[in-house]
Structure formats: structure tokens, C-alpha cells
A and B are shown apart, each in its own frame.
Chain A
Amino acid sequence: MSTGHIVGGIDLEVLRRGAGRPVLVLHGMQPVDPRAPFLEMLGRHAEIIAPSHPGFGRSARPKDFETVYDLVHFYLEFLDSLPHEKLTLMGFSFGGWLAAELAVKCRHRLDGLVLVDAFGIKVSDRETPDILDVFNTSPQEVERRSWHDPETWTPDLDSLSDEELVIRARSWEALCLYGWNPYMYNPQLKRWLRRITVPTLVVWGASDRIVKPAYGREYSALISGSRFELIERAGHHPEIEQAAAFVDTVVKFLTR
């Protein structure tokens, strides 16, 4: 874990692992845990660059920087700051929304896109929410719907350090600021997904009940030539719950 990567005046926490094809990882509702085993596994095949979004983790958030519009333009600057000619962009959950927005805007810098249980579009009718309202649902229910095996994976807040809890709360606050309304999607994004022309893999946890696989299939159908892969026995975080199967699927895509 390192800080001190200054982009657009923002002091950014950036986690770096492994070597190989460059993969920019955009995290979901919480920053990537540096202890997560998928990093090590994927790092054998790829150079992982995983920043914490401004306001998440230990990354600064400037005053009045509080929309997905800001995040998307910030990551365009971040891409400009990277030496690689092309990268694969991988986004989890909320970060999947950012990845889709970026792929619409800067396909020339990308050689691939991986969306994992991604937010960002509206699929169902106006009275059917696609994405569980994590802010207005009981925390137990959010966890129950997040995991294939909630008993194993629900984090125990009592066991976290003070610093970990502060970071968790900080990220939760930033997520709310960016994603509250419209809730976790951009009404205009669906129309522009056709601009994504890079090879795309859409990966979904088969047991995800934060945002269901049917939504992922719809997402995939809107991106021409994209592949949809289910990870069995995984919920909203297949990279955590089924790290080996997840990395296997991603590596196959990277080395296609």
C-alpha cells in the first residue's frame, strides 16, 4: 500500500502488486483489502494498479469533489499519468460503474474491460430497484445478500482496529455522497455503452443478491461482443469468495 501518488492535485493511495499486463482495478463499496488473496494470484499474471477512489481508504477528497462526474474525470487524468500505452480496466461493484463510464470515454487507452458485479445502469421498470439500497437496508440483510456464504464472510466489526473502522466509515460516507441519487446508476449511461468496443468480460457471482446476475446479463448484452461469466458459490464479491475461480476466469480473458 502506498500513498503519495499525486494526480490532479489529489494525494492518492495506490496499491500495486505483481507484474505482467497492466490492470487498473477500481474497487467497489470499500477499497481493496491489501490482504485479499486474489491480488497475489492475479499478480502472477498482471501488474495490478489499485487506487482508492478520492474519499475512500486513505485517498484525499477535495472539497466539492462529490459526483461520479468528478470521479470519471479524475480517472481520465489518472490514466494520463500512467506510462502504459494501453491497460485492462477492471471494476468491482461501484467501481464497475466507473469502469463502464471510462470505457465509454477513453477506449483508445484500453485493451480490455472487466466488469465484476457492476453498478451503473438502470435495467428494470421504475418500481423495481436493480441494486439493493445498502443505505436503507439493515446491515445484516445487506451482508446476507452480499455473500453466498454470509456466515463465513460477513466482516466482524468488533475485531477491526480503530483505524480500519475509521477508513470503513470514511469510505461509506464517500460512497453515499457519490451514489445516493440516482441510486448507483447514471440514467444516460445505458445509451452510450455501445461506444465500448474493447474486448469485455462481465463476471458475476451466481449468488449475488445486491445486484442479480440477470442484471449482469443485461449489462453484457448492451456491450457488443462482451462475454458473460458466472462464478458459482459466490455473491457480490466473487474475487473474495471464490478467488481462485475468479482469477482463473480473468486470466483466461487476459491471455485470450
Chain B
Amino acid sequence: MDAWWQCEVPYPFVPQEILNATDSVRASLPNRYCDPKVAADLFEEVIDEFLLCDDLGLNVLAVEHHAGINSLLGANPVLVGILARQTRQVRILSLGTLISLRKDPVRVAEEYATADVISRGRLEIGFVKSGGSEMASNNANPVNNIERYWEAIDLIKKALSHHDGPFSWEGKHFTHRHVNIWPRPWQQPHPRMWSATGDPETAAEVGRRGLVHVLVLRGPDGTKRAYAAHRKARAEAGLPKVTTDNFAYAAFVYVGDTDEEGLRVGSKLLWFLHTSLKSAPQYSKFLPGNAPPEAAPQVYRTAPRPGAGTGAMTAQQNAARLTSISAEQAMAQGILFAGNPDSVYKQVMEFYDKVGGFGHLSLVGRSGFMTHAESEKSIRLFSKEVLPRLREIKPVTAE
């Protein structure tokens, strides 16, 4: 198993009374509450943490989110470029430029090819569907978001792997008549690609395309279902079976010297769920395209009637459930792995067994008010005490 350190660079320093008074901590909270000097300090700490990971052999992962306290990484390619140059040995996963929000996938391919070359072939490219408040922040039509997602992936893949002079793309959402990027990527035909998704339809397509499939904070049941949809779609398409290396899981992780310390400091990560998910109804339950119209009886009413709608949990309902979760519940649900190194290893492996195995663990390792020193301690303990044991777990063909 491989492991990846991620920090979304949250900005928790907005006064609580402001957060209480606003209907959304994303998209519409004025940026006057973001002090650039504080933001600079945060970036410096977080980039230093990524460099510590590089020293210790723990891969790094850069996300992208827009216009909210949950993350200052609206410009993911900037961080990826820094990591490409400043790290020296680990692999770098961009998870990722939010491609359905960007007008020009060819430009995204240029950025990725450049970062791959600068890092001499250490880049991995992840795709995330985006949604919610980011549709407003980026003027992106939420209704056909998923179509843009797949078309952008197709175009990026072709731009990275086509080396015979300009080609033309006249798709439904993107047109670019003269695509010929320089440099081409270091890795051939292109860096490995990932996709983050939980819903069964997208999971099936991720399977057919053979992308590394990452589930974020989904817990064992949702994760197992998504992996199963991935495998089933491959089988139905007559494609070869994949190994556990095709599957990844992202959870909050904190390693302390003791279980008490691990849990106490690790609990700080839940700020992400408790505080940074608050989103106004127009960016969530009433966002067109967010859930199929058939789900409206469940979603639109203030209190859903029993038995109404389709029965599946919507993204909002999942978010609402997470907003009030306790550390103990988060641990029980496989969202938080925290404790001393032995405990964390044990928790990861219990989860591994529940979902039928995965080849990549992503550590959402710093969030909320966790300090730089606390983060570095967890990075060191994880890298030295947990990672070597996880590395022993070799990919197996998933059934």
C-alpha cells in the first residue's frame, strides 16, 4: 500500500460569530475575512509539511477547492508547480484541477505536462467532479457538469498523449482546433490518472476507464459499494480484473505517541466537517442538477416524509450527517483513523478488510486549528511507524 499526505489549507481564523451569522462559509463569505498575511503563514507551514513528507518518503497530494474557509487552494496548479520543483523524491498527486470548472482543458494539460517534466515524472493526475458552491464561484452550469467532466478528461488525455502535431477537438462542451502542447509529459503515454467519486454511475465509468478510484470520507459501506460498481462495470465490459492498486481511500488520520494524544489532536480534524461544510440551500439542496428531480420529495421539503423519494442518500444528506459527527462516531465509521501508531495501523487494516482492500491511503492530516508542530509530529510518526507496515501490503487482484 502507498500513502499520500494531503492538506487542503483551510482558513479557520474567521470569528465564530461571523460563521454563525452567515448562511454559507463557501462562495459568498466576503474575502475581507481572509487576511493575506495569515494566509501566507499558512501556505508556508503547509508547504514545509509537504517538504517534510518528501524527506520521509510520504507521497503528497494537492487538492483544489474554491472560495471558502475549507480551503485556500483555488489555484491548485500553482501548488503543484511548487511541489514539482521543491520536492525531490516522492510522487505528487494533483486531486486535482477542477476540470469541469475550467474553460480550456488544453491549458490544464499544459500545466500538468509542465509539472510532470519539472518533477521528472513524479506527477499523478486526479480528477474531481466538483459541485455545490463551486458552481457559483466559477460560473459553471451545474446541470451538465458531469458531461464536461468526461469530455475534459478525454481532451486532456489526448493532449498529453498525442505527439504528431496539431489535432482538432470539436466536442460538445470544448472546442480547440489546434492542439499541440509543449512540453509533452515526462511519463508516457501520460501520468497515471485518478478519479474521486462515490456515486455508482460515475464509479462504473471510472472502472471502465481503469482510473485509480478514490473515495473520500465515505465510510465502509459507501466505499465498498463504489469499488464494487467499478469492478462490476469492468467485468460487464469484458475488461481485465484490476488489483487493489486501482482503489484508494481518503480519511482523517492523526498519529500521536499515545491513543489519548492521537484522538485528542486528531479530533481537531473534524473542524472540516463541523464548520467548513456549511453551505446555503441554493448551493446545495436547491442547486439544479445536484440530485435527480426524482429525489425532490426527499430533498425539497423541510422534513422529508417517510418513504418519500428514491431512498438513496443524497450528497447533502451525507453532508448533514457529517456536520454533527463526534470523534468516536467518526472512528467507528472509518472516517477518522487516530491513536498511537499501532492503533492507526490496526484501524486502517480493519477498514481495508471491510471494503475488500485498497492500494492507497490518503491522509487528510491537517485541518482546522491543528498546529504546524502537531501536523509535523503526525507526519513523522506515520512515516516512520505506520507507513513501513502498510508498504508490506502488496496489491492483490480484487474479486
- A68 to chain B minimum Cβ distance, whole angstroms, is 13
* Cβ–Cβ contact B297 & A173, under 8 A: no
Q: Which residues of B contact A135 (CB under 8 A)?
A: 136, 142, 282, 287-288
* Cβ–Cβ contact B281 & A165, under 8 A: no
* Choice from B280, B289, B297, B308 contacting A138 with Cβ under 8 Å: B280
* Cβ–Cβ contact A166 & B141, under 8 A: no
* Cβ–Cβ contact B281 & A139, under 8 A: yes
Q: How far is the CA of A168 from the CA of B294 in the complex (A)?
A: 10
A153 within 8 A of B: no
Q: How far is the CA of A64 from the CA of B143 in the complex (A)?
A: 12
* Cβ–Cβ contact A172 & B308, under 8 A: no
Instruction: Render B124-153 as a binary contact track against A, CB cut-off 8 A, 1 for contact.
Output: 000000000000100101111000000000
- A47 to chain B minimum Cβ distance, whole angstroms, is 31
* Cβ–Cβ contact A165 & B302, under 8 A: no
* Cβ–Cβ contact B143 & A181, under 8 A: no
* Cβ–Cβ contact B296 & A177, under 8 A: no
Instruction: Specify the main secondary structure of chain B where it touches its partner.
Output: loop
Number of interface residues of B (CB under 8 A): 30
- A253 to chain B minimum Cβ distance, whole angstroms, is 34
Q: Which residues of A contact B294 (CB under 8 A)?
A: 166
* Cβ–Cβ contact B282 & A139, under 8 A: yes
- A57 to chain B minimum Cβ distance, whole angstroms, is 11
- A30 to chain B minimum Cβ distance, whole angstroms, is 13
Instruction: Render B248-289 as a binary contact track against A, CB cut-off 8 A, 1 for contact.
Output: 000000000000000000000000000000001111001111
B303 within 8 A of A: yes
* Cβ–Cβ contact B293 & A166, under 8 A: yes
B301 within 8 A of A: yes
A151 within 8 A of B: no
Q: Which residues of B contact A139 (CB under 8 A)?
A: 281-282, 286
Q: How far is the CA of A149 from the CA of B144 in the complex (A)?
A: 35
Which residue of B is nearest A163, CB measured? B297
* Cβ–Cβ contact B300 & A177, under 8 A: no
Number of interface residues of A (CB under 8 A): 24
Q: How far is the CA of A166 from the CA of B300 in the complex (A)?
A: 9
Q: How far is the CA of A173 from the CA of B294 in the complex (A)?
A: 12
B350 within 8 A of A: no
- B151 to chain A minimum Cβ distance, whole angstroms, is 13
* Cβ–Cβ contact B300 & A176, under 8 A: no
In the complex with contacts A135-B287, A136-B282, A139-B281, A181-B139 CB distance below 8 A: yes
* Cβ–Cβ contact B300 & A180, under 8 A: no
B309 within 8 A of A: yes
* Cβ–Cβ contact A180 & B141, under 8 A: yes
* Choice from B27, B283, B291, B309 contacting A162 with Cβ under 8 Å: B309
- A247 to chain B minimum Cβ distance, whole angstroms, is 31
* Cβ–Cβ contact A158 & B302, under 8 A: yes
Q: Which residues of A contact B288 (CB under 8 A)?
A: 135, 169, 172-173, 175-177
- B81 to chain A minimum Cβ distance, whole angstroms, is 29
Of residues B281, B295, B296, which shows the largest number of chain A Cβ atoms within 10 Å of its Cβ? B296
Interface residue ranges of A138-166 to B (CB < 8 Å): 138-139, 157-158, 160, 162, 165-166
Q: Which residues of A contact B143 (CB under 8 A)?
A: 66, 173, 176-177, 180
Q: How far is the CA of A180 from the CA of B148 in the complex (A)?
A: 15
B37 within 8 A of A: no
In the complex with contacts A138-B280, A138-B281, A158-B302, A176-B297 CB distance below 8 A: no
Q: How far is the CA of A204 from the CA of B70 in the complex (A)?
A: 43
Q: How far is the CA of A139 from the CA of B23 in the complex (A)?
A: 12
Told that A138-B282, A139-B286, A173-B293 touch, could you supply 9 new A-B pairs with CB distance under 8 A?
A135-B288, A157-B302, A162-B296, A172-B286, A176-B143, A176-B288, A180-B142, A181-B139, A181-B141
**A-B CB proximity, top 9 nearest:** A169-B296, A176-B288, A169-B293, A170-B293, A162-B297, A165-B296, A180-B141, A173-B288, A177-B143
